[in-house]
Amino acid sequence: MQCLIAFDMEKNIAQILEQDDFTKAELVKLLATEGDEKKLLFEKAVEVKQKYIGNTVYFRGLIEFSNICAKDCLYCGIRKGNKNTERYNISDEDILKGVKFAYDNNYASVVLQAGEIDSPVFVDRIDELLKKMKAITNGEIGITISLGEQTEETYKRWFDSGAHRYLLRIESSNRDLYGKIHPQNKKHDFDERLKALKLLQKVGYQTGTGVMIGLPFQTLEDLADDLLFFKEFDIDMIGMGPYIEHEETPLYEHKDKLKPLKERFDLALKMIAITRILMKDINIAAATAMQAIDPIGREKAVKIGANVIMPNITPTDYRGYYQLYENKPCIDESADECQNCLEARIKFAGDKIGYGEWGDSKHYFKRREQSKE
Ligand code: SAM
Ligand code: SF4
């Protein structure tokens, strides 16, 4: 009898979706939805996106300018220990050509991403590069960087030189799981990652984070905790996508524990939809890894909550070497081709592209206002 009462009191998915906040148990339930219940979840996310964000998608031209990395994350194809990867480092001149391409094509923003290096030479180089990027675009290009863990001083220098958004994925908010997917040393320490994320907020960046979805050992409870972490941390931007195994990495030995790719993709879509409902006014990027699994994966992500896409504008010659995982898409298409195919797909998804607009995270400005009160 007691059991029956408990069952009666349990909320169904429709009731849970009427709320703005969720318990961990409710998040797990949402992550486990299938069929009509999953449809309800996606419909709710579409409704929230329309109400708070609208149907504009913002472009960030992605330049993966170097695959040289001092770290050894166990999942990543460009980790230092992978001796089979040919290393590259695109010249400043070619990076600036990419920036000019983005600017001339009205992308309004670029993302500079690379392996993690913290040498003084690297820090100076990025600093100079940021200033040049601003100079050649009349100070107009919006700049996101994703260059890993750095000191507060470095974050501040780069911010002062023109970068205003920073992506640093926490990878998993569960410190035990973080420990399983990274080597055990100070360079790969969960608390250091957390500290770096806090520094980014302190310095004043629009701060982005995210996780990999479908990692070996990862449970729905872990993902629910990741969602609560995003909320608790008051994050401005999210970039998350499925984990995709790479044969030349240590984590590959656990490939038998993985969900099929299609399930990982589906789970990533649910994570995006729930994030949109939970954090209504943040920016959410449709990760490239979505497209590696499903040719229209990013458009599907846009449809149910994402509002940022990062077309790859890295010179085609280098793209094959930035292989974080297997089957990375668009490695042999030129930036022009990428843009044309994306434009058509986004229109197909019912959205429009915010050409010429930075499309900053609305949440960031609200957060800054609140911190002044
Ligand atoms: N090195 C910087 C860092 O780690 O923050 C930025 C570049 S790193 C390549 C960008 C992201 O790629 C990481 O945060 C990680 O989540 C993702 N990544 C790496 N290996 C991956 C894999 N096998 N599958 C999916 N995403 C992966
Ligand atoms: Fe380096 Fe980033 Fe890959 Fe880790 S995830 S090995 S820091 S590029």
Q: How confident is the model at residue 369 (pLDDT cuts 50, 70, 90)?
A: confident
Q: What is the mean pLDDT of the chain?
A: 93
pLDDT at res. 322: 85
State the distance from the centre of ligand 1 to the C-alpha of 113, rounded, in angstroms: 10
pLDDT for 334 equals: 66
Residue 204: band (very low, low, confident or very high) from pLDDT cuts 50, 70, 90: very high
Find out whether the beta carbon of 304 lies less than 6 Å from any atom of ligand 2. Answer: no
Residue closest via CA to ligand 1's atom 5 equals 148
pLDDT single digits (tens) 48-106:
999 999 999 999 999 999 999 999 999 999 999 999 999 999 999 999 999 999 999 99
Residue whose Cα lies nearest atom 2 of ligand 1: it is 148
Predicted confidence at residue 1, as pLDDT, reads: 44
More confident residue, 145 or 326: 145
Number of other residues whose CB lies within 10 A of the CB of residue 15: 10
| 319 vs 160, residue with greater confidence | 160
Using a 6 Å cutoff on CB, does residue 148 contact ligand 2?
yes
Residue 339 has pLDDT above 80, yes or no: no
Residue 159 tokens, joined: 């911010």
Res 9 pLDDT > 70: no
In 53-150, where do the E strands start and end?
56-59, 61-66, 109-114, 142-146
Alpha-helical regions (H) of the chain? 2-9, 13-17, 24-31, 35-52, 92-104, 120-135, 152-160, 175-180, 190-203, 220-232, 261-278, 288-293, 297-303, 316-319, 335-348, 362-372
Residues near ligand 1 with C-beta < 6 Å? 75-76, 113, 115-116, 146, 148, 168-169, 171, 212, 243-244, 246, 289, 324-325
pLDDT for 337? 65
Q: Is the CB of 168 under 6 A from ligand 2?
A: no
- Identify which ligand lies nearest to the alpha carbon of 246: 1
**pLDDT for 6:** 47
Q: Could you tell me if 214 and 259 are in contact, meaning their C-beta atoms sit under 8 angstroms apart? A: yes
Category of 45 on φ-ψ map: left (φ > 0), alpha (ψ -120 to 50) or beta: alpha
Indicate which ligand has the atom closest to the C-alpha of 146: 1
68 C-alpha to center of ligand 2: Å? 9
Please tell me which of 42-46, 100-104, 351-355 the model is most confident about, judged by mean pLDDT. Answer: 42-46
More confident call, 369 vs 266: 266
pLDDT band per the 50, 70, 90 thresholds, residue 275: very high
Q: How confident is residue 338, by pLDDT bands cut at 50, 70 and 90? A: low
Cβ–Cβ < 8 Å for 265, 290? yes
pLDDT mean over 150-172: 98
Pocket lining: 188 vs ligand 2, CB cutoff 6 Å: no
Ligand 2 centroid distance, CA of 145 (Å) = 14
Averaged over 243-247, what is the pLDDT? 97
213 - beta bridge partners?
A: 242
319: tokens are 């793209």
Distance from chain centroid for Cα 294: 17
Show the tokens assigned to 251.
């984590």
Pocket test of ligand 1: the residue of 323, 324, 328 to mutate, having most ligand atoms within 8 Å of its CB, is: 324
- Closest atom of ligand 1 to 212 CA is 16
Residue nearest to ligand 2 atom 8, measured at CA: 115
Q: How far is the CA of 349 from the centre of ligand 2 (A)?
A: 32
| Least confident among 118-122, 200-204, 279-283, 334-338 | 334-338
Strands 109-114 and 56-59: unpaired
Question: Residue 249 CA: which ligand is closest?
Answer: 1
